[in-house]
């Protein structure tokens, strides 16, 4: 992984960010509602599905942010 | 149900195809299958795409595809816990599991129990981890048969008397044979076919059915008002949140997940897959909604399916939906995707359980001087035993038992979390303390589940407030507390800090040794 201490702590920051953000979904009242609906989907359903897409994007960003440069 | 010849023909054709692929897979990425590392881990040669198919086919099982929409069909919003569950797990996999991959590659570990053996130098803790893994896996294999049973019945295959289980026996015999010869390569190759079929089926369903029903609004309108959302109270929120959190913590501790992770060719493959695997979660979210579509189409009230619903309960919702809305040939295709979807995880699970038995029980306790060929042979034999056991379980015991056992399996496997996951970061916890914590967690978890009739959510009263939460979470907190307190106690005297791993092992890039 990263070689000097500065990038190491940067990597730590990225990883912590990645681990903590999803824990937002633990707060269920946040999304246990019908409105606003989207394409007929109640908020409860489309919010959680949309979160999957968001988590894929966040993970990809962190991947490119922490992956060492290829030789 | 009358015999559906078209659907059955399509089903059998696809089964024949994957049988061929399963045997041909022995020659794929050629390796010496007389070594456990090759038979049971495919030599650790799988790249990003194959690992994606393998883990996808492994974690999202046939039973999932039947049971999650069945839960939505019967209980509504609660079934969606399968979605946030995977939102939580993949970032965790991204951060934690490359370390397990690296130390395994550096030290030649093929199971989580191998890692425990090396990290703590304690064969009894390793045995506990191995036994927990095997115990949690067996009912899971049996449940795959339930998925298979439901789709076979949906095609109208009804045999009388002693022949009732013949289709299941044939399917499992095929599975056992190609597993035996090809090892992990077989389910990996088949997973590619199966996953593509599942994607086609689900996308067809979510495009065609809402169109027929006049939009998604009508799909959700069919759900009873009180089930469309979770009940608006504290207990239902804690129940939902802990259920998905605990399931997430357990998921990658299962032996079949560890096998999938360790068969990949580099730690980067795991990181990439943590970003790519949620695609399956999205699919699973849509699959859950098939339960609502079944409500909207009204299959539960149609006389044609009444006897099948009586036999299989809500598990028949998805097969009935497919029969009702798809032409026969496509229903056969969809059933084949579920049927093959049962074989892939069943294969990987039985291989993973066999690896644990052969490496961590047979070689550790029975025959320490076995050569690689004997070790590999023992695993092949065990993979057969596991499948026969699962088959007997389904044939001779009510399916209800398999479901309860699988629920317990999730509660049990989480008790390897402190030893395995914390062990990837620190050697501070004492192995005997971890073993005591494991025992307390296993017993308290099983007791809580049994005391409320094998349901997942336990209403624990803390200082006068009742907090319903997933038993796995409560019991793993207890497990961890015991492990920490006893470690502090044992620290007062001299204790063993045996550890064969080195800090650098946890970041190994690959290429070393194996």
Does B445 reside within a domain? Answer: no
Which residues of chain A are within 8 Å of residue B275 when distances are taken between CB atoms? Answer: 56, 59-60, 63
Residue B370 CB neighbours (<10 A): 15
Does B211 reside within a domain? Answer: yes
The pLDDT score that the predictor gives to residue A68 is 66
Query: Among candidates B400, B154, B166, B356, which has minimal Cα distance to B258?
Result: B356
B224 in A contact zone (CB under 8 Å)? no
Structural domain count of chain B: 1
B426-B429-B435 Cα angle (round to 5): 130
Mutate to test the interface with A, among B76, B236, B267, B278 (most CBs of A within 10 A): B278
Contact A67 B220 (CB under 8 A): no
Tell me: the pLDDT tens digits for B322-356?
Answer: 999 999 999 999 999 988 888 888 888 998 999 99
The pLDDT score that the predictor gives to residue A70 is 53
Please name the helix (run of DSSP H) or strand (run of DSSP E) that holds residue B475, with its range, or none: helix B471-491
**CB within 8 Å of B167: residues ≥ 6 apart:** B148, B152, B157, B159
Query: Among candidates B112, B134, B85, which has minimal Cα distance to B472?
Result: B85
Please name the helix (run of DSSP H) or strand (run of DSSP E) that holds residue A66, with its range, or none: helix A43-66
Q: What is the Cα–Cα distance from B507 to B196, expressed in whole angstroms?
A: 34
User: Which B positions 66-125 lie with beta carbon below 8 A of chain A?
Assistant: 77, 80, 83-84, 86-88, 90-92, 94-95
Contact B94 A49 (CB under 8 A): no
Tell me: the pLDDT tens digits for A14-30?
Answer: 778 777 777 788 888 88
Peptide bond into B474 cis (omega under 30): no
From the list A18, A41, A51, which residue is nearest B94 (CB)?
A: A18
Does B162 reside within a domain? Answer: yes
Q: What is the Cα–Cα distance from B507 to B514, expressed in whole angstroms?
A: 16
The string of DSSP letters for B196-265 reads HHHHHHHHHHHHHHHHHHTSHHHHHHTS-HHHHS--SSHHHHHHHHHHHHHHHHHHTTSHHHHHHHHTBS
Q: Put residue B122 in one of left, alpha, beta given phi > 0 → left and psi -120 to 50 → alpha.
A: beta
- Per-domain residue ranges of chain A: 5-66
Which residues of chain B are within 8 Å of residue A63 when distances are taken between CB atoms? Answer: 94, 271-272, 274-275
The pLDDT score that the predictor gives to residue B200 is 92
Contact B95 A19 (CB under 8 A): yes
Q: What is the Cα–Cα distance from B202 to B208, expressed in whole angstroms?
A: 10
C-alpha distance from B223 to closest chain A C-alpha (Å): 12
Query: What is the count of residue pairs from A and B with beta carbons less than 8 Å apart?
Result: 105
Eight-state DSSP code of residue B420:
I
The pLDDT score that the predictor gives to residue B480 is 95
Query: Among candidates B47, B38, B97, B108, which has minimal Cα distance to B265?
Result: B47
Query: Among candidates B139, B134, B71, which has minimal Cα distance to B400?
Result: B139
The pLDDT score that the predictor gives to residue B434 is 95
Provide mean pLDDT across the span A36-56: 89
Does B500 reside within a domain? Answer: no
Burial (0-12, 13-18, 19+ Cβ within 10 Å), B222? middle
| Domain ranges, residue B201 | 14-400
Low-confidence stretches of chain B (pLDDT beneath 50): 512-514
Contact B275 A41 (CB under 8 A): no
C-alpha distance from B338 to closest chain A C-alpha (Å): 23
Mutate to test the interface with A, among B56, B77, B82, B87 (most CBs of A within 10 A): B87
A55 in B contact zone (CB under 8 Å)? yes
CATH code, B208: 1.20.1730.10
Model-level pTM? 0.89
C-alpha distance from B85 to closest chain A C-alpha (Å): 9
């Amino acid at each position: 992984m990263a070689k000097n201490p500065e990038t190491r702590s940067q990597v730590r920051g990225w990883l912590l960010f990645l681990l903590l953000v999803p824990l937002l979904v633990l707060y269920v009242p946040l999304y246990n509602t019908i409105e606003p609906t989207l394409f007929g989907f109640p908020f409860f359903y489309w919010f959680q599905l949309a979160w999957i897409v968001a988590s894929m994007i966040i993970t990809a960003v962190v991947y490119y942010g922490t992956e060492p440069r290829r030789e | 149900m009358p015999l559906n010849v078209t659907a059955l023909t399509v089903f059998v054709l696809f089964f024949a195809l994957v049988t061929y692929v399963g045997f041909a897979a022995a020659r794929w990425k050629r390796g010496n299958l007389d070594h456990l590392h090759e038979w049971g881990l495919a030599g650790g040669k799988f790249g990003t795409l194959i690992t994606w198919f393998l883990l996808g086919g492994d974690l999202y099982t046939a039973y999932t595809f039947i049971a999650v929409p069945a839960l939505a069909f019967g209980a509504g919003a609660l079934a969606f816990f399968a979605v946030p569950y995977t939102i939580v797990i993949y970032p965790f996999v991204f951060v934690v599991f490359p370390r397990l991959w690296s130390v395994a590659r550096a030290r030649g570990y093929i199971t989580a129990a191998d890692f425990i053996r090396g990290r703590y130098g304690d064969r009894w803790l390793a045995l506990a981890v191995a036994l927990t893994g095997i115990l949690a896996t067996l009912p899971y294999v049996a449940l795959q048969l339930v998925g298979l049973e439901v789709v076979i019945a949906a095609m109208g295959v009804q045999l009388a008397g002693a022949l009732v289980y013949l289709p299941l026996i044939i399917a499992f015999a095929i599975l056992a044979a190609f597993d035996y010869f090809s090892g992990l390569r077989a389910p990996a190759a088949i997973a590619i076919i199966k996953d593509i079929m599942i994607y086609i089926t689900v996308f067809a369903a979510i495009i065609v059915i809402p169109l027929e029903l006049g939009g998604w609004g009508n799909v959700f309108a069919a759900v009873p008002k009180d089930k469309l959302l979770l009940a608006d109270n504290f207990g239902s929120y804690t129940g939902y949140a802990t259920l998905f959190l605990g399931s997430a913590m357990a998921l990658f501790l299962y032996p079949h997940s560890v096998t999938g992770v360790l068969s990949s060719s580099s730690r980067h493959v795991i990181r990439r897959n943590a970003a790519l695997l949620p695609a399956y979660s999205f699919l699973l979210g849509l699959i859950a909604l098939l339960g609502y579509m079944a409500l909207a189409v009204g299959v539960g009230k149609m006389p044609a399916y009444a006897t099948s619903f009586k036999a299989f309960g809500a598990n028949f919702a998805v097969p009935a939906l497919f029969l009702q809305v798809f032409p026969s040939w496509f229903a056969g295709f969809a059933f084949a995707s579920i049927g093959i979807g049962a074989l892939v995880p069943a294969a990987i699970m039985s291989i993973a359980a066999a690896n644990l038995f052969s490496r961590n029980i047979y070689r550790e306790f029975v025959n320490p001087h076995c050569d690689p060929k004997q070790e590999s042979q023992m695993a092949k034999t065990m993979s057969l035993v596991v499948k026969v056991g699962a088959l007997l379980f389904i044939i001779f015991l009510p399916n209800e038992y398999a479901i309860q056992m699988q629920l317990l399996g999730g509660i049990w496997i989480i008790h390897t979390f402190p030893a395995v996951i914390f062990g990837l970061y620190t050697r501070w916890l004492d192995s005997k303390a971890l073993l005591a914590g494991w025992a307390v967690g296993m017993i308290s978890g099983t007791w809580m589940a049994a005391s409320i009739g094998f349901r997942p959510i336990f209403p624990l009263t803390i200082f006068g407030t009742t907090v319903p939460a997933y038993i796995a979470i409560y019991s793993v907190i207890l497990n961890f507390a015991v492990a920490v307190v006893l470690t502090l106690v044992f620290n007062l005297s001299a204790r063993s800090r045996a550890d064969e791993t080195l800090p650098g092992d946890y970041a190994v890039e690959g290429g070393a040794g194996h």
